[in-house]
Amino acid sequence: MDLLPVLRWLAATLLLLFSVHSYGQPEEFGQKGTQVPVIDISALKHSVLHAGASYWVTDRDLTVDQLPLGEFQPLTAACLNRGITDDYHWVRVRLDNLAGATEKRWVLYHETSYLDELSVHYADNGGVRQQADLSDRVPFSERPFVHRTLAFEHVTPAGGYTDLWLRLHFVKADTLTLNLFLSDVGQFASAAHLEYLLLGSYYGLMLVLLIIALLGAFILRQSLYLFYAFFLISSLLTWAQLNGLSFQYLWPNSPWWHNEGFNITFLLTSMSALQFSRLFLKTKALFPRVDQLIKASLWLMTAAILARFLGVYVPVLYLSHVSLAALISLAVLGFMAYRRGLGYARWYSVAWVLYGLGLLVSVISAGTSLFNWGMAPLYYAQAGGALEAIFLLIALGEKLVGWDRDRRVALAVANEDPLTGLGNRRAFEEAFDRLQRRSGAGGKRVFLVLIDLDLFKVVNDRYGHDAGDEVLKELGQLLRRCVRPEDVCVRFGGEEFALLLQAPSARLAMDVAERIRAEFAATPTLYQGEDIEHTLSAGLAEVGAPEAFTRNQVIRMADRALYAAKAGGRNRICLYGDGPESQPGLSVAGDE
């Protein structure tokens, strides 16, 4: 399955969705008229504004007096999302407190943090009209009401009403929703607390993941973790911007970053996700064409960021949205990698499916009027993003476990003799040093037994090399059977084997070696219907403390004892004497 058509299809569909719906005209809604739309606020707690208000759209900057009130249409949930637009959207409503015995203090606020301008024209009880111009293009501190989105507070007199004309506008076209909320001021405070708490938990979680990612990068020295960390940081900044929290807390004096930084952080998120995926899924090796495509996208996005700094807006805006949406295709890429043998890619795919679901709904909401939920799907996308980040970490963990397993297997293979399955000389050296240190530190005494088959050349010559191999395998099994788990037996090379025996005395070590010798001599190897008779000789030396003898010295001592056994007529065991200079043969076991 080739990913290119999938990506092409996805990009084309999204572009189409944007272009068809972005500049769509408002739908026709039933009757028009100059009747004033009214919302009763006498018992207001929290409400969306669209139930009861009306709206009108124009591309001209008009005053309230120039508004064609007869053209206003009912503001319903179905026409909340306006796509990408810089048209002037007017909302008209009367807030009625006629039944209220006390004055009503309320807050009106917009759903998204990135709305450029919200002009509130208001008049109480048909009196003089006043105006409050709220804008996210001035420092945060200049907001009359402190909230992460544009908000306006007012008091409607008891038994009275407030007329509202609201003008919503983007200086530079962006995704506009007419979702406005109206809250009793006390209710607003408690709802805002809960909202900030929930958003705070998202940032807390992301920060914890970020710390884990940075620790991973530091400890494992893998750039993969670094790109995961970059991805977390840019996602975190993207959401901080979309939530309006970066403007409130991080750069309150930089309306430029608040307004212009969006597309840059969107692009950085896409870029870090793509670069992370290249490394994680080994695309260069597994999918070279997709890898080329990702590389080209990375260059394109880098160019877009530079272009943004040079003042280019609309193409960068579209590219940044499409790039985020196109990340959904990473779920498919992960699945393909999984099918090509990257087991850990399954969690990676799950992560992008979660991300994709939230994002797809948000993008469709922002660009079309298919859903009636305002921009609430942005929160689903944010929650999806948090789950995604967790699953990516799980995928990284699984990769790490797999890597450690592979490393252990490779290590075992490197230390193993393929014919007998015993350890090899490398394993012997490691074990020797370990046991010698332990013995020197007061542990059990350790003895080296070097074993060599007698006249093995004759076996090879008479029965063939394969038969010789069979004998070597049998000896391997015999050695395994005769030693205890804490002892070490290896194939030293050719027809030579070595044992490291832990025993309280040389005599007991000799007994073990003798048992092996006797059993080997008494048990011919059955090969293709023939019994192959065989014997072995062995030399034994005590390992001693590391300060006493080096590894090579001990091997030489055991080798000299082995030589003595061979010289003494083979099929016997010799123990090396007290020191390196003394002669072997202090003790002999075997058939004379």
Binding site for ligand GTP (CB under 6 A): 419, 452-457, 460, 465, 468-469, 472, 494-495, 566, 570
Kindly tell me which of 142 and 466 has the beta carbon lying closer to ligand GTP.
466
Helix (H) or strand (E) holding 502: strand 496-502
- Locus of tokens 């969006």: 262
Q: How far apart are CA 446 and CA 455, in angstroms?
A: 29
The 10 Å Cβ neighbour count of residue 400 is 16
Q: Which ranges constitute the DSSP H helices of 441-505? A: 456-463, 465-482
Q: Residue 132 forms beta bridges with which residues?
A: 120
Least Cβ distance, residue 499 to ligand GTP (angstroms):
17
Residue 16, number of CB atoms within 10 A of its CB: 11
The CB-of-409 to ligand GTP minimum distance in angstroms stands at: 24
**Sign of the alpha-carbon torsion through 563, 567, 572, 573:** negative
Question: In 3D, which of 3, 59, 11 has the Cα closest to residue 336?
Answer: 3
**C-beta of 172 vs 462, nearer to ligand GTP:** 462
The distance of closest approach from Cβ of residue 532 to ligand GTP in the complex, given in angstroms and rounded to an integer, is 11
Smaller CB distance to ligand GTP: residue 103 or 461? 461
Angle between helices 223-243 and 377-414 (to 10 degrees): 170
Residue 202 in tokens: 């998202």
Closest residue to ligand GTP, judged by C-beta, is 468
Helix count and strand count (H, E) for the chain:
16, 21
Q: Is 295 exposed, middle or buried (0-12, 13-18, 19+ CB in 10 A)?
A: middle
Report the residue number, 510 or 565, with the smaller CB distance to ligand GTP.
565
- Burial degree of 43 (CB within 10 A; 0-12, 13-18, 19+): exposed
Q: CB neighbours (10 Å) of residue 127?
A: 12
Q: Which is nearer to ligand GTP, 411 or 419 (CB)?
A: 419
Q: Closest approach of Cβ 459 to ligand GTP, in Å?
A: 8
Active site (annotated) includes residue 495: yes
Nearer to ligand GTP (CB atom), residue 204 or residue 464: 464
How far apart are CB 561 and ligand GTP at their closest, in Å? 14
Shortest Cβ distance from residue 454 to ligand GTP (Å)?
4
CA–CA separation, 535 and 516 (whole Å): 10
**What is the residue type of 345?**
A
The catalytically annotated residue of 429, 495, 547, 592 is 495
In the 8-state DSSP scheme, what is residue 423? B
CA 133-138-140 angle, to 5 degrees, is 100
Q: What is the DSSP letter of 584?
A: S
Q: At its nearest, how many Å lie between ligand GTP and the CB of residue 327?
A: 56
Measured from the CB atom, is 86 or 530 closer to ligand GTP? 530
Catalytic residues: 495
